[in-house]
Structure 1
Amino acid sequence: MKNNLSLFKNKSFLFFFFAALFGVLGEGIYGLTAIVMVLEKTESVVEIGKLLVLTLLPSVVLAPFLGVLVDRFNKIKLAFLCNLLRFVAIFIIPASVAFGFFHVSIFYVSILLSYVIWFIIEPLKESILKEILSPEEYKQGISLVQGAWQLGLLASAIIAGMLMDRLGTTEAIFTASLVYILAGFLFVGINTKGDKAASEIEGKPTLKQYRSELVQGWIYIFQNKKVLYFALATSMVLPFFYSINTLIAPFNYQTLKGDGISLGIIDSGAGFGSLISAILCTLWVRNHAISRVVLVAISLSALSTVLFSLTTSVPFAFIMYLMMGMFIGMVKVLTRLLLFEQVEEKFIGRVMTSVSFVSLTVSIIMSLLIAFIGEASLTYGYIAISMGLIIPFVLTWKGSKFRSLTNLFVKKEKRSDKEDGVYDAY
């Protein structure tokens, strides 16, 4: 643990850690409050599914093109700008209420804009983290950042529940918008080795260059089967979260007969569990059989999801949600570790935006499917979610069977260097 905590002596990592923490805090408050607002106005699980699709659809269109943007331009400036724009996108809701011109269309515009920006920020953060840490620090760093993500998720659920019950949904959304101002300024304190490289690119990229770099990224993924399968497995985590988010509010109000506080408490269980998973992964990452642990964690995620659907009390629901968060949190951290071990740094932006593209597309399908199933039966909805986890299980298993193409290239380069050495000797 000492070696892991020593990362905080790295000023750039310290700023990044708290920027990630506050970013997820704002996202958690905003996301949970938005679901409650829709449920209050429509009392329909299907409408919640439609809302989640609305958060994803524009980003599906943009995701394939963002990788080149992330790999080419100054990441710190882009991160600051994205956080500032997300503040504006969210702030228009409380501002419109305060000045008396609020309409539901404004809410949906806010959702569209804020989540387009959100899915630029996420692969951008992955790329920044890769640049500010050495290869030796990266495994511990990603686990610690995952801990920040889960801590923000945990705190945001409790804070959102309290704000909604005591102040109202508008005030909760206003609080979420302010958090992004703080996160944006924290990014300014980060120095990355990639900023200089980005600034050295002469001129603006042409459409031909842009298309060429995009195609190179896709070719790289498909040629390296290990990267392909681990990228697809990583892509299945977000659909799981969106699926359970589709059903959590209806389950709380309809099955458990709860309120905003109980919703926040149950939802915080996922944060607690995921925080535990981040700590476990931080302590465990030096071991080698990561893929086996991922397979076990996926299986236990499916089991705990089914058991959660059978709960009838808030305390037991909290415990089961904690278990769900812990196991799927392990899947999220460890599948990323498996993926990043295989990806060359120059392709990281394009690989992660490809992961985002697949995640978003599958999340749309899953959100609508689970919403329609949940409208008929919440229990069947949770069973369908658990069955969907068969996909990342199979992908992880298949990915572990392939040899790394990157390693093969390294071996070829070493053989080539030896041959050159022989010729030089003569």
Structure 2
Amino acid sequence: MAYWEQQIQILKNRSFQFYLYSCIAGTFASGLAYIVTIWMIVNIYTSVNATLVGMILFWVPSLVLSPHLGVVVDHYDRKKLIIIAESVRAVMFIGFSILLYRFTSLQAVYLLLFLSGCFAALYKPLLPAFVHELVPQEQLVYANANINMAYEFGNIIGRGIVTVAVLSLLGIYGALFTIAILYVISAATMIPVQRHHRERETNLVKHPSFIKNMIAGYHYFFFNKELLLYGLIQAGILMSLMAAPVLVGPYVKTILLAGNQIFGISEAVLSIGTIIGAFFWSYLASYISKESCLAGASVFAGLSYLMLANTNSIIFSLIAFLVLGFSWGSFALIISLVQMITDKHYQGRVQAAIGAAVTLAYIGFAIFLYVLGEQYNVQHAFLFLATLCLFIFGGSIKAKKVGKI
């Protein structure tokens, strides 16, 4: 009963409600943007390698900019950063809806992915750090679970109806303009949000130099053994979260030999599983340790990847996607654990460090697959992700022994 009381209490928080509305609108936009850009690449140039290039271009900004943006998140007003970023994204998609209408090319889509990656680099450290300003620490797990569900609800809408929206109603260019409108809504719903637990990061005064602040953040993360362990677990889960959805398009096209309808259904099934998992894992965590939940979730994820690597059945693939999404619902637990361990002065920089590490691994993974070329098919990537789940499982077991939370 305490679990549901906590959830209801958080949802009664008016500022948190508006933040959820912003998340839903933003992820609706991101879901549409994801489908449109990936599907445009697949249709312009059917090679899996073309998709890998798009993945690399999207994540390069996170690798280059994350160290600097972590300091920005810890220094500047986070609410204003969100509003400004969403507004600029709206302008960007309006511009690209016009550009791509006149000059449809693979290079233009790549440019859109690169610029979108620049905003993703800001959001990875910004959003988790901002949650600290909305709720007290003891409610972080429940708040993150709700936010995770809001993201996936937005993804279901954005990815689930995209086939109708793009092909039947709006067309690709109309969808790009719709994305811009949704980002405007996301920015507008952030305006009424009031911070109740905001504390300025006074440690930045000790290091007025931007570079010194960045180095201090990395030193804090890499020399804190407990935080480093939990951070690596978060990095492993993030790697899985980032890689798998991008591989769905090539998997549907080259392995299942299906079209955009199965593509949209597969993405929606992933998100439905994540919503179910977010409820289940956060509820289970009120009875057993969060680390045990993470270990269990990694087992489900590993089995799902193995199934995807060994089947070309649409039915079995959809089941695997559902279970995979279910395992991802545990992400709220690991991000809450990292937030609890991290000093409030370093929230942005720690998340930026984790994001940079994940991005480096992700880009290396994509380049490796690109070099393999014709010897590679998307099922090999799923085998790699299944192996990654073994490391997440081992890390979760070790964290259970050494963790203090």
Same-fold call, TM > 0.5?
yes
1:214-272 CA-to-partner distances (Å, cap 9, x unmatched) read 22222221232111011111112232233323431122123323221211001111101
In the other structure, the counterpart of 2:213 is 213
Superposition deviation, residue 48 in structure 1: 0.4
SS in 1 for 2:176: helix
In the other structure, the counterpart of 1:341 is 340
Matches within 5 A, 1:9-88: 9-88=12-91
* Partners of 1:233 and 1:403 in 2: CA distance: 13
After TM superposition, the structure 1 stretch with the greater mean CA deviation from structure 2, 14-23 or 305-314, is 305-314
> In the superposition, relative to structure 1, how do residues 196 and 143 fare at CA in structure 2: closer, same or farther (>3 Å)?
closer
SS in 2 for 1:192: coil
Instruction: Tell me which of 151, 158, 161 is aligned to 1:159.
Output: 161
Q: Please list every run of 5 or more consecutive structure 2 residues that lacks an aligned counterpart in the other structure.
A: none
Superposition deviation, residue 288 in structure 1: 4.2
Superposition deviation, residue 93 in structure 1: 1.8
Asked if the contact 2:69/2:121 (under 8 Å) is kept, the reply is: no
Superposition deviation, residue 119 in structure 1: 2.0
Find the structure with the greater CA-based Rg.
Answer: 1
* Partners of 1:140 and 1:158 in 2: CA distance: 26
Superposition deviation, residue 102 in structure 1: 4.8
Superposition deviation, residue 193 in structure 1: 4.5
* Partners of 1:117 and 1:378 in 2: CA distance: 27
Superposition deviation, residue 124 in structure 1: 1.1
Amino acid at match of 1:48: T
Asked if the contact 1:80/1:187 (under 8 Å) is kept, the reply is: yes
Superposition deviation, residue 178 in structure 1: 1.8
1:306-350 CA-to-partner distances (Å, cap 9, x unmatched) read 1123343433322220111111332x2222122222112121111
Matches within 5 A, 1:72-221: 72-98=75-101, 100-166=102-168, 167-193=170-196, 197=200, 208-221=208-221
In the other structure, the counterpart of 2:382 is 382
Superposition deviation, residue 148 in structure 1: 0.7
SS in 2 for 1:188: coil
* Partners of 2:181 and 2:205 in 1: CA distance: 34
Amino acid at match of 2:380: Y
After TM superposition, the structure 1 stretch with the greater mean CA deviation from structure 2, 269-278 or 365-374, is 365-374
After TM superposition, the structure 1 stretch with the greater mean CA deviation from structure 2, 240-249 or 27-36, is 240-249
Asked if the contact 2:251/2:379 (under 8 Å) is kept, the reply is: no
Asked if the contact 1:221/1:227 (under 8 Å) is kept, the reply is: yes
In the other structure, the counterpart of 1:412 is none
1:386-409 CA-to-partner distances (Å, cap 9, x unmatched) read 1122332333333333355xx9xx
> In the superposition, relative to structure 1, how do residues 243 and 196 fare at CA in structure 2: closer, same or farther (>3 Å)?
closer
In the other structure, the counterpart of 2:234 is 234
In the other structure, the counterpart of 1:423 is none
Asked if the contact 1:243/1:370 (under 8 Å) is kept, the reply is: no
Superposition deviation, residue 209 in structure 1: 2.6
* Partners of 1:403 and 1:42 in 2: CA distance: 48
Asked if the contact 2:26/2:182 (under 8 Å) is kept, the reply is: yes
SS in 1 for 2:402: coil
* Partners of 1:206 and 1:161 in 2: CA distance: 52
SS in 1 for 2:94: helix
* Partners of 2:41 and 2:71 in 1: CA distance: 35
Asked if the contact 1:90/1:173 (under 8 Å) is kept, the reply is: yes
Asked if the contact 1:239/1:367 (under 8 Å) is kept, the reply is: no
Asked if the contact 2:132/2:198 (under 8 Å) is kept, the reply is: no
Instruction: Tell me which of 10, 20, 27 is aligned to 1:7.
Output: 10
1:182-224 CA-to-partner distances (Å, cap 9, x unmatched) read 11111111122566737xx7xx989853223222222221232
Asked if the contact 1:252/1:263 (under 8 Å) is kept, the reply is: yes
Asked if the contact 1:165/1:260 (under 8 Å) is kept, the reply is: no
Asked if the contact 2:235/2:354 (under 8 Å) is kept, the reply is: yes
- How many residues are aligned here? 400
Asked if the contact 1:236/1:362 (under 8 Å) is kept, the reply is: no
1:11-66 CA-to-partner distances (Å, cap 9, x unmatched) read 11111111112211111111122111111111110110110000010221110111
In the other structure, the counterpart of 1:251 is 251
* Partners of 2:292 and 2:92 in 1: CA distance: 42
Asked if the contact 1:235/1:358 (under 8 Å) is kept, the reply is: yes
* Partners of 2:298 and 2:305 in 1: CA distance: 11
1:81-127 CA-to-partner distances (Å, cap 9, x unmatched) read 011111222222211244x3555433322221222012212321111
Matches within 5 A, 1:262-281: 262-281=262-281
* Partners of 1:346 and 1:276 in 2: CA distance: 33
After TM superposition, the structure 1 stretch with the greater mean CA deviation from structure 2, 186-195 or 40-49, is 186-195
C-alpha RMSD of the superposition: 2.5
Q: Please list every run of 5 or more consecutive structure 1 residues that lacks an aligned counterpart in the other structure.
A: 408-426
> In the superposition, relative to structure 1, how do residues 384 and 372 fare at CA in structure 2: closer, same or farther (>3 Å)?
farther
* Partners of 2:373 and 2:396 in 1: CA distance: 28
Amino acid at match of 1:73: Y
